[in-house]
A and B are shown apart, each in its own frame.
Chain A
Amino acid sequence: MFKDIEHLIRLATVMAIAVVAFLVLRAGVVPRSFGQYGHYRGAAMGEIAARPIAFAGHDLCETCHSDVADQKRQGKHVVVACEACHGALAKHADDPASLTPAKLDTTVLCARCHEANSAKPKWFPQVVTADHSGGIACDTCHQPHRPKIETKPETESKAEGKK
């Protein structure tokens, strides 16, 4: 009776073996904690939490660099965290002598946020650096922690003097 469907039984067997092999593979390679919290490996949370801390946080920076913090408070960069520009410096905060932060190249650093782009909001300070500074480092004129230049331009001072 089964002779005429022998090939179909064999096909079904091959398919069943393939499905079982897949299930075995799946059981072997899918991490146990997958799906514990969502569509990801639950154990990843613990692994990430166990990573060494890289950022010190600006509160910790300010405990030693209060002079810089005071400067920042007077300008718009008060909202920019120290390590946003200086990089992750938890090691320096733990032991200042062990790591001295590198001097930053403001020609590149400032342009990262302030290079003109029509997609940026109009109120955001932005310049075409090639026209604005012609390759001169931004900190030649601007104090990075309080970037606004307070001195009035010469022409404006003369005009005011005439009044």
Chain B
Amino acid sequence: MYIPVEGFMYPNEVELQWSVLIVLYPFITGLVAGAFILASLERVFRVEAVKPTYRLALLTALAFLLVAPLPLQLHLGHPERSFEMYLTPHRSSAMAMFGFVYLWYLMAVLLLEIWLDYRRDIVVKSQTSTGIMRFIYRVLTLGSNVISERSLRIDERLGYFITLIGIPSAFLLHGYVGFIFGSVKANPWWSSPLMPIVFIFSAMVSGIAAVMLLYMITTRLRGKEIDIRCLDKIAQYLMYTFVIDFSLEMLDLLQRIYEADESFRSLDFMVHTRLWTSQVIVQILLGTVTPIALLGLTQILKLTEKTRKRVYALAGCLTVMGIFAMRWNVVIGGQLFSKSFLGYTTYKMGFATREGLLTAIALMILPFGILWLLVKLLPPWPDASSISASGEFEQAEPVRSLV
């Protein structure tokens, strides 16, 4: 494959080693962390307005978390060897430690929180459903049908505690991804102590925007009315987080411009040429400034509900696109310039290859398929939890006041 090179590149820099799949990896984990943090707003910070999205956010986080390691597995020449990081843990390797960060977040936080939150529904469904679904629900109950008031209160208290642990865990999950890039000291495009922090905030932004869009789409598909109070609140939090995220990114940029170290001219040239469209146009103008401005307008102007919904939808789409562009610019941008600062290479994405465009598209569709299954199995809608199969299960809302 011919790769156009400009100026001087070392031989091992001409072909990019980290492909679009490595762009997907931080993008997907970001959605996970962001969705979870949105869920924790209701659980820990008592933001009652966002309650309709609580369970949807948890299921979204799980669907994307299950897909998060797949880009890495496809990227590896020997995916079966990845299990060895559990068998023979290498404590000095940041990449090898990902397995534990991932496992902790999946098993100790997300699955546990979802199980505790849905346990009552699972028990009810294990008694009311039939066939294979009955079997699945019965397995999920672990053979215990106890849903006494006290047991639900214990679940609630434990769930609260897990969410409390889950917030730093979500920060750890995505902070870790930023750490991986930020700690590559040989690469001036990545090497920055701000990287983990910027990654965490951008994760929150993308996750909140994604759940907001999913909430709007799923509510529309179900033919229900969107809770505008909930949407307003999410959009408000999205804007706050986005402003912090953008400020941090600009702070990083200012620092680089003022510091102007030996890499600056090379990186500056790259931003003005190869990354101009993806960084300046897509990431900054369309994906950051425009959604912040749109969300800001909804705070300042008195817009109708219909207009607000449209603005939120547009801002949400632009935000997700902008954060994807940010991941692209970090991962791909960091490999386009020579460490000699004298040349630039080009990223040639394959089409129907192991790390090509089709694979990337399939990997982005997959979480939605998993989410669809999860939603079928564990309906997250506020109106769906009031299962009226038998009288004793009528009281749907868990007891939150005791926590």
Binding site for B on A (CB under 8 A): 3-8, 10-11, 14, 22, 25-26, 29-30, 34-35, 39, 117-119
Contact = CB atoms under 8 A, between A and B. Distances in A.
A4 B144 contact: no
Contacts of A117: 11
A54 to B, nearest CB: 25
B80 to A, nearest CB: 12
B11 A4 contact: no
13 contacts: A3-B148, A4-B146, A5-B151, A6-B144, A7-B141, A10-B143, A25-B87, A29-B87, A30-B87, A30-B88, A39-B88, A119-B9, A119-B10
Given A14-B142, A118-B8, A119-B11, A7 B87 contact: no
A118 B14 CA distance: 12
Contacts of B86: 22, 26
Nearest to B152: A4
Interface of B: 8-11, 86-88, 90, 115, 119, 141-144, 146, 148, 150-151, 154-155, 158
B8 A26 contact: no
B369 to A, nearest CB: 26
Contact of A39 (B90, B142, B146, B148): B90
A3 B146 CA distance: 8
B8 A119 contact: yes
A4 B158 contact: no
B94 to A, nearest CB: 14
A35 B88 CA distance: 9
A39 B10 CA distance: 31
A4 B148 contact: yes
Contacts of A119: 8-11
Contacts of B150: 4
Contact of B151 (A4, A30, A35): A4
Contacts of B8: 118-119
A11 B154 CA distance: 14
Contact of A34 (B10, B88, B143, B144): B88
Given A7-B141, A7-B146, A118-B9, 17 more contacts: A3-B151, A4-B148, A4-B150, A4-B154, A6-B146, A7-B119, A7-B142, A8-B158, A10-B142, A10-B143, A10-B144, A11-B142, A26-B86, A26-B87, A35-B88, A117-B11, A119-B11
Nearest to A27: B87
A13 to B, nearest CB: 8
Nearest to A30: B87
A5 B87 contact: no
A112 to B, nearest CB: 13
A5 B154 contact: yes
A44 to B, nearest CB: 13
Contacts of B11: 117, 119
Which 8 A-B pairs give the minimum distances between C-beta atoms?
A7-B144, A4-B151, A10-B142, A4-B150, A6-B144, A119-B11, A119-B10, A6-B146
A29 B88 CA distance: 10
B6 to A, nearest CB: 12
A6, A22, A29, A35 — which one has the most chain B CB atoms within 10 A of its CB? Answer: A6
A4 B145 CA distance: 10
A10 B122 CA distance: 15
B340 to A, nearest CB: 9
Nearest to A13: B142
Nearest to B108: A15
A65 B90 CA distance: 49
B308 to A, nearest CB: 42
